[in-house]
Amino acid sequence: MPLIRNRAAHVRRAVVTGGAGFLGSHLCGKLLEEGVEVLCLDNFLTGTPRNVEHLLSEPGFRCLRYDVTDFVHVSGPVDLVLHLASPASPVDYLRFPVETLNVGSIGTWHALGLAREKQARFLLASTSEVYGDPQVHPQPESYWGHVNPVGPRGVYDEAKRYAEAMTTAYRTARGVDTAIVRIFNTFGPRMRPDDGRAVPTFVRQALAGEPITVTGDGLQTRSVCYVDDLVRGILALALSGEPGPVNIGNPHEMTVARIAEDVIRACGSSSTVRFVDRPVDDPQVRRPDTALARERLGWEPRVSWEDGLARTVAWFRDALAAPAGPELTVVR
């Protein structure tokens, strides 16, 4: 049975902020597949219209150039607000620190206001970064985290922590039906090759035959989840009555060095590994405790690392070889 019609037949129209980003575009596509009309709002600071180019001809899809830190007004009924707007990679939020803080605070406030006005279910896309460099492993939702608020990563970590607090306040004090998902490392098609995260960086370097730049000694760990699994988990939470926070991510933990080796192999590359300085406040370990997602949502990842990596490499191979097309036009 289709996911939406099986769980929430009343969801007819959804607003996705940050809908032209990597993850947002996949969510828009899945909602449309399930018969939900989608309004995508994005200022294209880090997202791109090309991520939703294949959706622009769909009768139930509309994409607007929109900055949710200015205001949010949507005409007509809305049943679901998915708030994903934010720079999400270190390269981006270090380049746009104030914008990152603003969208986590003002943007979340505006998106919650829209949900309250429309009496819609609201989902905040939070992050495993709220756990910082964790001292508890794996990380359950009950762990409060170990974050440096004045470090270079603090603008993103604290923006999301503040957004969680505001979302909770709107639930308890304003009666808004809210949920919080804590997203762990995700990979798949439509990631930018230059966004600085490990998998797209390694794939780009391997396909070009360049050295794979692994930070530190490569023994730090990550748990990476294929985007289709993550989207399924986000929508399972959005269409449930759970408030969260709920971790969604793959509990299979690997060293960064292992990830680099697997990428080289999947690309059939002759690249070698080059170790470089590790960023400040880079987490040593990262693995979700997903017991709550299994128990409350019936969710667990299905796509293996090897299968997801093969799909991702195939997409990058085609995308990097394709000539740049003309600038796409969206509704302003």
CB 110 within 8 A of CB 69: yes
C-alpha 248/C-alpha 250 separation (Å) is 7
3-state secondary structure the chain: CCHHHHHCCCCCEEEEECCCCHHHHHHHHHHHHCCCEEEEEECCCCCCHHHHHHHCCCCCEEEEECCCCCCCCCCCCCCEEEECCCCCCHHHHHHCHHHHHHHHHHHHHHHHHHHHHHCCEEEEEEEHHHHECCCCCCECCCCCCECCCCCCCHHHHHHHHHHHHHHHHHHHHHCCCEEEEEECCEECCCCCCCCCCHHHHHHHHHHCCCCEEEECCCCCEEECEEHHHHHHHHHHHHCCCCCCCEEECCCCEEEHHHHHHHHHHHHCCCCCEEEECCCCCCCCCCCECCHHHHHHHCCCCCCCHHHHHHHHHHHHHHHHHCCCCCCCCCEC
Going from the first residue of the chain to its last (332 residues), give the mean pLDDT of each consecutive group of 10, the final group possibly shorter: 52 97 98 97 95 95 96 94 95 94 98 98 97 94 95 94 98 98 97 92 96 94 96 97 97 95 97 91 90 97 98 95 68 58
pLDDT at 162: 98
Pairing verdict, β 253-255 and 221-223: antiparallel
C-alpha 78/C-alpha 67 separation (Å) is 18
CB 78 within 8 A of CB 13: yes
pLDDT at 5: 46
Q: What domains appear along the chain, each with residue ranges and CATH number?
A: 10-187+227-250+282-302 (3.40.50.720)
pLDDT at 4: 46
Q: Cβ contacts of residue 99 below 8 Å, gap of 6+?
A: 45, 69, 87
| Structure tokens, 44 | 């294209």
| Structure tokens, 329 | 């036009």
Please state the pTM of the whole predicted model: 0.94
CB 56 within 8 A of CB 162: no
Catalytic site positions: 156
CB 214 within 8 A of CB 275: yes
Nearest to 185 by CA among 243, 256, 137, 238: 256
